[in-house]
Homo-oligomer: A and B are copies of this chain.
């Protein structure tokens, strides 16, 4: 049966015009090549070379050279693609994250690892957590960075980082006049502007506050506008504000340490991800780990470098 290595040997010999040089190139002895070509000619039952010296091809030889050359090249290309994909130097990764991570962690990941990505094509999108989970389950993205859903079946999750909620208000708001954590009772005395992220806080006190809230805003721009207009205060995870251009607003942490948003690395549980996706995941986790070594200090540094 015809083998690629036979064709490769023939191409090398036919092109170099003699066995010894070809043997050098291929890293075998001339005698091995001689036997290989003999076998090929026996298989075709026709000579490929005009003379014993391999410097002139028969008509069949010329035809085989053309075909074999094309074939060997095609094969090598395929092998490169397969090996490249396996070693994550080639491929495509589609990732979707919540905006705050898209604006903080992700840029860090790329600035650290961009050189290791080779030919990998990374597609980043930002969307809200439930959309991310939906896109994941429909196989529209490979990796998601989002909060977990109540009962997301078929998704594998891994805690990436947890993000402390705090109170945001205008600098001349009464709550901005003091430092330190804010208690639920303290917060209850001010008008709350609810938002989709704060609605996720599970503490009972938070639920009560939301039940009484009169205003709900969805996007950061409008929330921040209301804060500056001193209409009220809001609750947001720390990263959500650091990712945006905050301008003149004050952040005070919540006294209730359970009020956190937990951001997970999500992927489909049943199907495997490509090596490139796995590699990107590793880069993200390592980046997060590094940033958390110096705890908040490192996170702050990340934020600063991210807001020129």
A residues at B contact (CB < 8 Å): 1-5, 44-47, 50, 58-60, 63-64, 67-68, 70-71, 74-75, 78-79, 81-83, 85-87, 91, 271-275, 277
Which of B63, B71, B86, B272 lies in contact with A274, CB distance below 8 A?
B63
Task: Say whether B4 contacts A3, CB under 8 Å.
Answer: yes
Q: For A44, A71, A271, which residue has the most chain B Cβ atoms within 10 angstroms?
A: A71
Extra pairs beyond A60-B274, A68-B78, A68-B82 (6, CB < 8 Å)? A1-B5, A59-B274, A60-B85, A60-B86, A60-B275, A63-B91
Known A-B contacts A71-B75, A74-B74; the reply to A82 vs B274 at CB < 8 A is no
Q: Which residues of B contact A87 (CB under 8 A)?
A: 45
Whether the pair B59, A82 counts as a contact (CB closer than 8 A) is no
Closest chain-B Cβ to A112's Cβ sits at a distance in Å of: 24
Q: Which one of A45, A46, A74, A91 has the highest number of Cβ atoms from chain B below 10 Å of its Cβ?
A: A46
Q: Across the interface, which residues of B come within 8 angstroms of A74, CB to CB?
A: 71, 74
A86 lies within 8 A of B45 (CB): yes
Do residues A82 and B58 form an inter-chain contact, with CB atoms below 8 A?
no
Known contacts A60-B274, A75-B75, A274-B60: does B4 contact A82 (CB below 8 Å)?
no
Among residues of B, the one whose C-beta sits closest to the C-beta of A1 is: B5
Q: In whole Å, how far is A168's beta carbon from the nearest beta carbon of chain B? A: 41
Return chain B residues, CB-CB under 8 Å to A273: 59
- CB contacts (< 8 Å) of A71 on chain B: these are 74-75, 78
Asked if A272 contacts B59 (CB within 8 A), the reply is: yes
| Most chain B beta carbons < 10 A, residue from A1, A63, A86, A272 | A272
Least Cβ–Cβ distance between A141 and chain B, in angstroms:
13
Most buried by B among A4, A50, A83, A273: A4
A277 to chain B, nearest CB (A): 7
In the bound complex, how far is the Cα of B58 from the Cα of A91, in angstroms? 14
Nearest-CB residue, chain B, relative to A63: B85
Q: How many angstroms from the CA of A75 to the CA of B71 in the assembled complex?
A: 7
- 26 residue pairs of the A-B complex, CB under 8 angstroms, read A2-B79, A2-B82, A2-B83, A3-B3, A3-B4, A4-B4, A44-B86, A45-B86, A45-B87, A46-B86, A46-B275, A47-B272, A50-B272, A59-B271, A59-B272, A59-B273, A59-B274, A60-B86, A60-B274, A63-B85, A63-B91, A64-B86, A67-B78, A67-B82, A68-B78, A71-B78
B-side contacts of A45, CB under 8 Å: 86-87
Tell me, in angstroms, the Cα distance from A46 to B64 when the chains sit together.
Answer: 36
Q: How far is the CB of A154 from chain B (nearest CB, A)?
A: 14
Instruction: Tell me the smallest distance from the CB of A68 to a CB of chain B, in Å.
Output: 7
